[in-house]
Amino acid sequence: MTTTPPPVREQLAALWNAATPIQVDRNLDLPEETLVDQIERACARYSDQDALDFFGKRTSFAQLGRAIKNTAARLREIGVGPGSHVALLMPNCPQHVIAFYAVLTAGATVVEHNPQFTAAELAEPFADHRAEVAIVWDGCAHLMRELPADVRPKVVIAVNMIEELPFGKRALLKLPIKKVQASRAQLSTPAPKDMLPWHKLTEAASATSMTAIAQSRPQPDDDALILYTSGTTAGPKGVPLTHANMASNTNMAHEWVWNLEPGNECFMAALPLFHVFGCSLSMNAGLSIGAMVHLLPKPELGLMLDAVKRRVPTLLIAVPPLFDRLADAAAEHGVSLEGCRTGISGAMPLSPELIAKWEAATGGLLIEGYGLSETSPILVGNPVLPTRKARSIGIPFPRTEIRLVDPEDPDRDVERGERGEIVARGPQVFKGYRNRPEETAAAFHDGWFRTGDIAVVDEDGFISIVDRIKEVVITGGFNVYPSEVEGVLKGYDGVADAAVVGLVNELGSEEVVAAVVVNEGFHVDTDEIRAKIKESLAAYKVPRKVFVLPELPKNNMGKVLRREVRTAVEKLREGSAELAEKAEELAGKAVEAASEFSEGLSERAGELAGKAVEVAAEVSEKVKDAIRPDDQPDGDGPGSTSEGPHTPGAH
């Protein structure tokens, strides 16, 4: 007797249940709580234990709890309360942690920003959130003055990181030595005198303001954090995350990493807290279970090794290049990483080679996860088991619903092995973009958040990302997935990195263009690269032009900023076109001169002039060939692939 196979959703649910560690409850009960509830509970429960380590200076949970409450009350005294937005622009430091939770305790919403941004990059987000108070590292305090007057915060609080260093390091930085003073300048720059110094917020708050914060506690559905998307394909969009979004994702992470021991863990915040990955997983997830968190103002290997020597992190959140460099640096300097039980990687795929290197160095596991700013961030993760898979993002987190659907028909679930867009539902998923109703409507379909990421599911239910919808290049009616072409480019000897984008040509259609970074000491022939790609891919996937860049523009998480790559190659293409025009003009003049010359010379001179004409014409044609698209290939081109043509107007 034959049975009808269950629908794909039931098939996947069964596979995901089978792949989930027995210690993990997929139907996890999530309490209705806020981030304030979580941090207050931790500060009370682990009061005598260390919460923060900053260059060796320790802050206990009791000290952290008092600082948060006092700072929250002081913020209330300057007008911060429910409905307020407070902008933070700081590297990782104790003041950043205190400010984050103090703003929430005051009932307000945190708006995180990258302190390395320029005023021009900050202007649009500030115009959107309209924060009247900003707490900023004094090294970037000048940016607040450079903002347009109508979006400039009314109150700016300047943070001096040196104030939180151990006494010995503070004393050392006062020495009149050039190198020491350079180090001091990296940590702190005098802020404008009209800005409020951070230490003013540490002064004792009034009893009235302490009572006020106790009476206006945030609710789970209140916005806790607003982040602005990195803008890899478009301008920044505000992503509001509620307390419920973030607190639920924290609890999911605790359940997923089943071997955590509350009160006995050590996390390392090497990734920036102004990014959702560092904020949620390094800070919130760490502190809420009583872990000590190493705070590093930037992910420098020297700082990381020093922190490891003080106390080995039991859990490290990072990106693949950082895991790779840290393993190498630790081996080179004889620093043991033994005891780092779990490494969680994101932003880009983990190679089997890197997993093997890291696990040999630590004796622990290195797993890959997946999420977005809009999902607080984690949706999917590899099981914390030796059965985890390299180059896969894993399986859905507890209480998280995932489907892979046809991007053109999101009501249709694709079969295993078929490319589909990841769509998600769950308590960690945001409700919509700030002040962007059209983008919000486009981001959801029937209550499911459309991630824009294209993935496949293997026979065991493990999900692997293959591309992004917005990055797919549609040329001649056919889809070209950049990651596929980039994989071939990176396999070419001498190519260190590659990015593929689509550019509109003079006919108004899109064509595939590549940018590559060349290893030092190598010279690559771009025509040879294109010929090599033709050996592996269909002709329509071959870049019409390959440009060499000194480096690829990336965001702070290591993701390629394709919008900036596109801008760079457009400029190079325009420059090539101008050179071609000049070359053609010169060739034309050579033709004229040769013709005139041939009229007054002997037959032999005429022959020579004729050859000059031919050479000049050939030079002109070769220059044009170097910058114009090839003719659309036929025969072995799009028609021979399994991919169907793209429906006009579908995107």
Range 170-174 contact pairs with CB under 8 angstroms and sequence separation of 24 or more: none
Answer with the residue of higher pLDDT: 113 or 591. 113
d(CA 484, CA 499): 10
30-45 burial: b if 16+ Cβ within 10 Å, else e: beebbbbbbbbebbee
Range list of H helices, 444-481: none
Among candidates 487, 257, 278, 253, which has minimal Cα distance to 366?
257
Residue with tokens 């056919």, as numbered in its chain: 478
User: Is residue 72 pLDDT above 50, yes or no?
Assistant: yes
pTM greater than 0.85 (yes/no): no
Secondary structure of residue 138 in the 3-state scheme:
helix
12-37 pLDDT per residue, tens = 999 999 999 999 999 999 999 999 99
- Are the C-beta atoms of 357 and 330 separated by less than 8 Å? no
Q: Looking at residue 469, what is its pLDDT? A: 80
548-571 pLDDT per residue, tens = 999 999 887 788 888 889 889 988
Helix (H) or strand (E) holding 243: helix 243-256
367-377 pLDDT per residue, tens = 999 999 999 99
Give the residue-averaged pLDDT of 281-304.
98
Q: What tokens appear for 249 in the block? A: 């994702």
- Are the C-beta atoms of 401 and 37 separated by less than 8 Å? no
Residue with tokens 């043509």, as numbered in its chain: 645
- Cis peptide leading into 321, omega within 30 of 0? no
Q: What are phi and psi of 550, to 5 degrees?
A: -65, -30
At residue 561's C-alpha, the angle toward residues 558 and 567, to 5°, is 150
Q: Looking at residue 581, what is its pLDDT? A: 61
- Are the C-beta atoms of 6 and 25 separated by less than 8 Å? no
pLDDT band at 481 (very low <50, low <70, confident <90, very high): confident
559-603 pLDDT per residue, tens = 888 888 988 998 888 776 565 566 566 666 655 655 555 455 445
d(CA 428, CA 445): 17
Q: Residues 6 or more apart from 310 whose CB is under 8 A from it?
A: 53, 56, 294
- Other Cβ atoms within 10 Å of 445 Cβ, number: 15
The conformation of residue 640, written as its DSSP 8-state character, comes to G
The pLDDT > 90 percentage for the chain reads: 66
pLDDT band at 508 (very low <50, low <70, confident <90, very high): low
- Are the C-beta atoms of 146 and 119 separated by less than 8 Å? yes
Half-sphere exposure of 421 (CA within 13 A, CB side): 23
116-146 pLDDT per residue, tens = 888 988 999 999 999 999 999 999 999 999 9
Which amino acid is present at 596?
A: E
Q: Are strands 196-197 and 155-159 parallel, antiparallel or unpaired?
A: parallel
Q: Looking at residue 599, what is its pLDDT? A: 55
d(CA 229, CA 207): 39
d(CA 602, CA 595): 13
Domains and CATH numbers, the chain: 35-47+60-218 (3.40.50.12780), 472-651 (3.30.300.30)
Answer with the residue of higher pLDDT: 582 or 93. 93
